[in-house]
Amino acid sequence: MLIQKWMASTCQLLPRSLAVPVQSKTRTTFTMPGAGQLQYLDRPGGHKISYRKTEGLKSPGVIFLPGFMSNMNGGKALAVERYCQHHGHSYVRFDYQGCGESIGDPELAAGTGAFDVWKMDAQAVLDQLTSGPQILVGSSMGGAIMLLLAIENPTRVQALLGVSTAVTFDKPLTYTEDNVSTQAPTTNEYVTPKDFWDKKYQRCLMSDSIPVTQPVCLIHGMQDDTISYMTSVDLSKRLQSKHVDVVLRKEGQHRMSKREDLALLVQCLGNLLSLSNSKL
């Protein structure tokens, strides 16, 4: 296990209900030149999740998993898209049900488990929108989903890149991207529902030995006041993988969306892509 500090000056688990989570805040949509057009993937109950896919000739592909109540148009998702476009890798970014541009009932019935729904959305993206090996990039809550997909899909998931990875949800989580909506509330804090995720996931991710064997890079800001950077350090010790790097950015916060944060993100992604290609 390698722990680094980045000090840049400019720098199969069983499904539950398919109910739809709470609608996220409305945000401005950014479309990059060359980005895949907005499309929708059908989900049970007549719901749809929105996504944009960039085609690429190089393997592995890359999938971005947003954080809690976030969407596919944030700074990290777009930075990864730019990198994949430039280097010729396929890439998918998407919105969970009830978030971003996805279509569905915004109400979440009590006891339905939003995390379960979003995890199954991510599995559907992996199964239906991609082929071959993939690198998963998970932000905050997306990091937990990333880990579970790696456990359940060991032949498809080539490597993992976590940003401010969350593995517990016992306190309010913040949006993982800057809010750009003029209609949004004044606070970015949202209380995670008591029934947000099933105990089967909690047991899996809090166990002393987590059966993730793929290469993993965990990036975390040491100024993160939502998820302590020690979460990534502790997680690295419990992963079964022999190739785990923890990269700590001294001035980094939870969102890790400043220019120097994004530079670190794509640098680490490039390292994982090089490592994956050397093994193909």
Q: Which of 70, 90, 139, 140 is catalytic?
A: 140
276 is catalytic: no
Contact criterion met (CB below 8 Å) for 16 and 198: yes
Q: Which of 121, 224, 245, 261 is catalytic?
A: 224
232 CB contacts (<8 Å, ≥6 apart)? 162, 164, 165, 218, 219, 220, 246, 248
Count the Cβ atoms, other than its own, within 10 Å of residue 25.
Answer: 18
| Phi, psi torsion values for 131, nearest 5 degrees | -140, 155
241 is catalytic: no
Q: And the tokens for 245?
A: 């790097």
Identify which of 141, 135, 83, 69 has the alpha carbon closest to the alpha carbon of residue 264.
83
224 is catalytic: yes
Rounded-to-integer distance, Cα 114 and Cα 21, Å: 5
CB-count exposure of residue 15 (10 Å: 0-12, 13-18, 19+): middle
Rounded-to-integer distance, Cα 261 and Cα 254, Å: 10
Q: Which of 47, 89, 220, 254 is catalytic?
A: 254
Omega before residue 66 within 30° of 0, cis: no
- Which residues are the active-site residues? 140, 224, 254
